Homo-oligomer: A and B are copies of this chain.
């Protein structure tokens, strides 16, 4: 191949995929505000100052656009979680990592994403929390694929930190943790639904996670449920109720 005098193009690549990014940004904002079904491609392309056909041209379909919106932030976040966990484990040497630190590896990347001044950030986590509850098959399939390796990785880490906790119990508690986390992050006005919190720090996700972490940590390390005893008590109340 002759060494062609490859002159550096004076013109910068103009706007490679500029409209593609504009569409992604607009879609992210609108999906988060109204949800997937309630957001039309016309609204998205209008907000992005792009042509209606741009979505189908660049992404193929509305579903693929939604997946692209999620992947853009979700993939790096989950990757950061695994990387942080790996780093912490390496730092701990042969000693098992504490639950608290494992939990931090799970929460900190989410916090960093929420803090990201770049467009999206906090709003994206709301979108994510909402996607968690979406019954659309393609969304569920996509999310379970995105989360599979990350969850498995953390489950193994927690299992080492909590050797006495049965695996099944751990699976449930991890499920509860993801639930409280995604629900909390998804909270639109849900916060006001529960209580009037001081408005000044309501947008401060760092404080939120610092409150959430001890809550989850305590739940994770809770004593095993004494099923029979709890059941008897519970049924007693149920009997009086029924």
Which residues in A have some Cβ–Cβ distance to B below 8 Å?
32-38, 80, 84, 87-88, 101, 104-105, 108-109, 112, 129-130, 132-136, 140, 143-144, 147-148, 151, 155, 168-169, 171-184, 186-195, 197-198, 207-208, 210-225, 227, 230-231, 233-234, 237-238, 240-242
Contact = CB atoms under 8 A, between A and B. Distances in A.
Contacts of A144: 189, 192-193
Contacts of A88: 237
A214 B210 contact: no
B180 A195 contact: no
A184 B179 CA distance: 6
Instruction: Tell me what chain A mostly uses at the interface: helix, strand, loop, or mixed.
Output: helix
Given A84-B237, A214-B222, A218-B219, A135 B230 contact: no
Given A175-B190, A179-B179, A190-B175, A237 B197 contact: no
A108 B108 CA distance: 34
Given A130-B133, A214-B230, A215-B219, 10 more contacts: A35-B134, A104-B233, A133-B183, A151-B195, A173-B215, A175-B184, A175-B195, A176-B183, A179-B182, A207-B227
Contacts of A234: 104, 108, 210
14 contacts: A32-B135, A34-B136, A35-B37, A112-B238, A140-B189, A140-B193, A168-B197, A173-B215, A174-B194, A175-B195, A176-B216, A178-B194, A183-B183, A219-B222
A171 B194 contact: yes
A153 to B, nearest CB: 13
A230 B207 CA distance: 11
List the 5 closest A-B pairs by CB distance, nearest first.
A179-B183, A218-B222, A37-B37, A171-B195, A133-B133
